[in-house]
A and B are shown apart, each in its own frame.
Chain A
Amino acid sequence: MTQWSGYLGLILQGALVTIELTLMGSVLALIMAFLAGMGRVSRFFILRAIATTYIEFFRGTSIFVQLFWAYFVLPFAGLSLTPLQAGVLALGLNVGAYAAEVVRGAILSVGREQYEACTALNLGRWQGMRHVILPQALLVMLPTFGNNAIELLKATSVVSLISLADLTFQAQVVRSQTGSTLMPFLSVLIIYFALALIISWGVRTLERRMARGLDGVRV
């Protein structure tokens, strides 16, 4: 039985890599989502075109292919990434493309009267966006961002294909070393699920905190 604790240690190491990927990927995804989402509603054609191209491209090709490009093809262009960097890049760009549409939709969901109030108060476009539109849109984005983050968490397992020792990778290792299938796969099942729960809980807490006062009941 004692040897299990050693194998569990391996799996927990994998979990750390998965968490790291999820966090860093989410940060990149968030940045890309706001850049591309706001680009989509820009009044400049060129920004709209760039944002649309990015979104369509990364939604239209698979995360596997994107990861292989990041890890195997970019070196030919003189850019060699570690497996972790390649993983974060592919995950962040991929999920960012989906989340960008969330940002765009949320911005458009803010009523025209809010934009008009900004104009009547002589706020500049960016001032209105920053202080009036985005704070309201953020509340609309949050629940879907939670889903996006969970999608990203689940997608992290693709990095095992470029030999990054994440949760899924370690489970395979333990399985091949012990011959046991149930123990490693049951552990990773539970860990993925627990991580997803933590994300949901975190996003819900954030949402509650941000919605405070908006409906006039909770203060």
Chain B
Amino acid sequence: MPAPIIKVDAISKSFGTFKVLDGLSMQVMPGEKLALIGPSGSGKTTILRILMTLEKIDGGHIQVDGEQLYHMERNGQLLPADERHLARMRQKIGMVFQLFNLFPHKCVMDNVTLAPMLTKGVARAAAEKRAMELLDMVGLADKAKAMPAQLSGGQKQRVAIARALALSPKIMLFDEVTSALDPELVEEVLNVMRKLAAETDMTMLLVTHEMGFAHDFADRVLFFDRGRIVEEGKPDEIFRHPKQERTQSFLKKIIAAGHRV
């Protein structure tokens, strides 16, 4: 059995007096496709943001790819991570945001090549070649010179995916990447994600309200409620035979709201 690529150990996180995550633990195996579902405010975004080092944790430990994320081991002691350690750890992780967060002043090509050139010292020619491959993969090879404002939401999100992939992370985090899109644009983004899942061995963590997609895409589903994992299992177990009462009522609500499971 290989070692987990992500090991979250009893982490807690509060915003002010409000405890968002309370002793959360979870493990993710290399190459695993994980879906995080649960009611609004249950902490799904927060755990992704913590893994991307966009939020600090108040307690607990996280191991990514065999190394502490928020701590450094020095002479057998665990010290808080400094900026250099964090920068090194971030190379392993990429994130795609709900609202794309493209750089509006840069064309599609420059959005994709900026980080590889700056953080990995990749030469422009090589970075652009790789960017074209990625844009081709997400179906946007003809938009390389376009500005973000000229793209539809679905196209923007596909650029954002290509931009994150350009750094070749081992782990990709997707936070409700289709929920800001018009319904007819959702599928083109989901198709890219299916392709990614099929063609790469990247570890993927996906927060979503698209239960149908989560069912097809994920190897394992985690159901979050109030900052804890209430239930986890294979998609069929969670979606067809949920054991916990809270999971059942959440799924019932989702179906009543017209989502397909």
A-contact 0/1 string along B231-251, CB 8 Å cutoff: 000000000000000000000
* B230 CB, nearest partner CB in chain A, Å: 28
- Contact partners of A181 in chain B: CB under 8 A: none
Query: Are A119 and B90 CB-contacts (below 8 A) given A131-B118, A135-B105, A136-B104?
Result: yes
User: Does B52 interact with chain A (Cβ within 8 Å)?
Assistant: yes
User: Does B213 interact with chain A (Cβ within 8 Å)?
Assistant: no
Contact of B99 among A113, A121, A122 (CB under 8 A): A113
User: Does B14 interact with chain A (Cβ within 8 Å)?
Assistant: no
Centre residue among B54, B97, B101, B167 by max chain A CB count within 10 A: B101
Contact of A215 among B54, B102, B149 (CB under 8 A): B149
- Contact partners of A119 in chain B: CB under 8 A: 52-54, 90
User: Does A117 interact with chain B (Cβ within 8 Å)?
Assistant: yes
User: Does A124 interact with chain B (Cβ within 8 Å)?
Assistant: yes
User: Does A82 interact with chain B (Cβ within 8 Å)?
Assistant: no
Q: Contact between A116 and B97 (Cβ–Cβ < 8 Å)?
A: yes
- Contact partners of A117 in chain B: CB under 8 A: 97, 101-103
- Contact partners of A121 in chain B: CB under 8 A: 94, 114-115, 119, 163-164, 167
Q: Contact between A122 and B150 (Cβ–Cβ < 8 Å)?
A: no
Q: Contact between B97 and A214 (Cβ–Cβ < 8 Å)?
A: no
Q: Contact between A213 and B87 (Cβ–Cβ < 8 Å)?
A: no
Number of A-B contacts (CB under 8 A): 73
User: Does A60 interact with chain B (Cβ within 8 Å)?
Assistant: no
Closest-by-CB residue of B relative to A122 is B90
Which bracket fits the contact residues of A? 20 to 34
User: Does B57 interact with chain A (Cβ within 8 Å)?
Assistant: no
Query: Are A219 and B119 CB-contacts (below 8 A) given A120-B95, A121-B114, A214-B104?
Result: no
Contact of B149 among A113, A114, A125, A213 (CB under 8 A): A213
Main secondary structure of the interface of A (DSSP, over half): helix
Q: Contact between A122 and B101 (Cβ–Cβ < 8 Å)?
A: no
- Contact partners of A80 in chain B: CB under 8 A: none
Q: Contact between B104 and A124 (Cβ–Cβ < 8 Å)?
A: no
Within 8 A of A (CB), among B62-95: 83, 87, 90-91, 94-95
User: Does B147 interact with chain A (Cβ within 8 Å)?
Assistant: yes
Closest-by-CB residue of B relative to A113 is B101
Q: Contact between A122 and B147 (Cβ–Cβ < 8 Å)?
A: no
Centre residue among B83, B105, B149 by max chain A CB count within 10 A: B105
User: Does A78 interact with chain B (Cβ within 8 Å)?
Assistant: no
- Contact partners of B97 in chain A: CB under 8 A: 113, 116-117, 120
Query: Are A120 and B94 CB-contacts (below 8 A) given A136-B104, A213-B149?
Result: yes
Q: Contact between A213 and B147 (Cβ–Cβ < 8 Å)?
A: yes
- Contact partners of A214 in chain B: CB under 8 A: 104-105, 147, 149
15 more CB-based (< 8 A) A-B contacts, given A120-B101, A121-B114, A217-B149:
A113-B97, A117-B101, A117-B102, A119-B54, A120-B94, A120-B164, A121-B167, A122-B90, A123-B114, A123-B115, A124-B119, A127-B118, A139-B105, A214-B147, A219-B150
> What are 30 A-B pairs at a CB distance below 8 A?
A113-B97, A113-B99, A113-B101, A114-B101, A114-B103, A117-B103, A119-B54, A120-B90, A120-B95, A120-B101, A121-B115, A121-B163, A122-B115, A122-B119, A123-B114, A123-B118, A124-B87, A124-B118, A124-B119, A127-B119, A136-B105, A139-B105, A213-B107, A213-B150, A214-B104, A215-B149, A216-B148, A216-B149, A216-B150, A219-B150
Which B residues are within 8 Å of any A CB, using their own CB? 52-54, 83, 87, 90-91, 94-95, 97, 99, 101-105, 107, 114-115, 118-119, 147-150, 163-164, 167
